[in-house]
Structure 1
């Protein structure tokens, strides 16, 4: 059985977990704190980041894009459509929005929230910076406006079918939702989409996550939220 090195609220780790669950691949999860820069982690990945996929007898696959590619090549089902579209138009839109979420949304919102609320909390004497969180929250509002517009014009984020881009966005929003940072009341279109994807069996592994000493925000695990 493959082993996956993760942090429970790391959105890249969550994206990989969703993809594996959707494809029906059992995996052993190994929780780590990348910011501690454990020597065992640095030996595998000098960048000290997750996710890392370790399959028996093979070299570790390091980094979210490499892991996604490995999962698609090794485990994508033959009987149903995978998460990466074949048509050029849908494929291009999927990767465009993957780029938006993995780079733009992460760099402007998620990584700051995780740093301030999770990483600093774990470091002795670390205190969240309210000014950083205010900026991240303002940036999230702008992103949600764009996502609302997309979901008002299409069923899934990249078009008519669910793709890896949906799971990428769901991974980020689920991390932020755990911490209570998503204002669903002003994001009805995105909320409707999130309720649909949140109800998928693949999502159950995320909804059961809990961080010691930091309970999930109200409604995090509720399908009717």
Structure 2
């Protein structure tokens, strides 16, 4: 059984967990707070990023992209379609949207909420910077307009078939939803898309997450929200 070093609300870790659950792979989870840069973890990954995928005593993959490719290569079942489209054009669109979410959306939105609302809880005397959160919230609104348009014009984020792009966005949105920062009233089509992906059995592993002294917002675990 593989092990995954992760943080429950880290979107990159959530992508890996969703993939493993979608492919029916049980996994042992070990929680890490990468922002603490603890010496033992830095020996494993000097970049202090999660997830880290381990098989037995062997470190299989370090970081988001390596973990995603390792999971797809090792665990994607032959009986069903994987999360990487076989058609070249569809695969290119999947990677375009994945990069949008994992790089642009993360850099302009998600990382600020994590830094201000989660990481600062472990820094003595630190409090969230309301100015930073306001800017991140404004950026979030602009991104949601685009994602809502995609959800209104396509069955799944990248087209007719669910792909890694859907799991990437769902991982980020679920983190923000846990923290109560998504205004679903302004994103009806995106809400329908999220409701469908949230209802998948693979998503149960995320909906059961709880962070000590930081409970999820009301409705986080509800399929009808």
TM-score by length of 1: 0.99
Quote the offset at 1:57 in angstroms.
4.4
The answer for the alignment partner of 2:101 in structure 1 is 101
Contact (CA 8 Å) 1:150, 1:157: kept in 2 or not? Answer: yes
Give the secondary structure class of the aligned counterpart of 2:53: strand
Contact (CA 8 Å) 2:5, 2:50: kept in 1 or not? Answer: yes
Quote the offset at 1:59 in angstroms.
3.0
Give the secondary structure class of the aligned counterpart of 2:161: coil
Quote the offset at 1:58 in angstroms.
2.6
Q: Which runs of 5+ in 1 are unaligned?
A: none
The answer for the alignment partner of 2:124 in structure 1 is 124
Quote the offset at 1:60 in angstroms.
3.9
TM-score by length of 2: 0.99
Name the CA distance, whole Å, in 1 between partners of 2:36 and 2:102: 23
Q: Which runs of 5+ in 2 are unaligned?
A: none
Contact (CA 8 Å) 1:7, 1:50: kept in 2 or not? Answer: yes
The answer for the alignment partner of 1:137 in structure 2 is 137
Give the secondary structure class of the aligned counterpart of 1:59: strand
Confirm whether residue 211 of structure 1 aligns to residue 201 of structure 2. no
Give the secondary structure class of the aligned counterpart of 1:78: coil
Contact (CA 8 Å) 2:179, 2:217: kept in 1 or not? Answer: yes
Contact (CA 8 Å) 1:44, 1:60: kept in 2 or not? Answer: no
Contact (CA 8 Å) 1:109, 1:139: kept in 2 or not? Answer: yes
The answer for the alignment partner of 2:162 in structure 1 is 162
Give the secondary structure class of the aligned counterpart of 1:157: coil
What RMSD in Å do the two structures reach over aligned CA positions? Answer: 0.7
Give the secondary structure class of the aligned counterpart of 1:195: helix
> How many residues are aligned here?
225
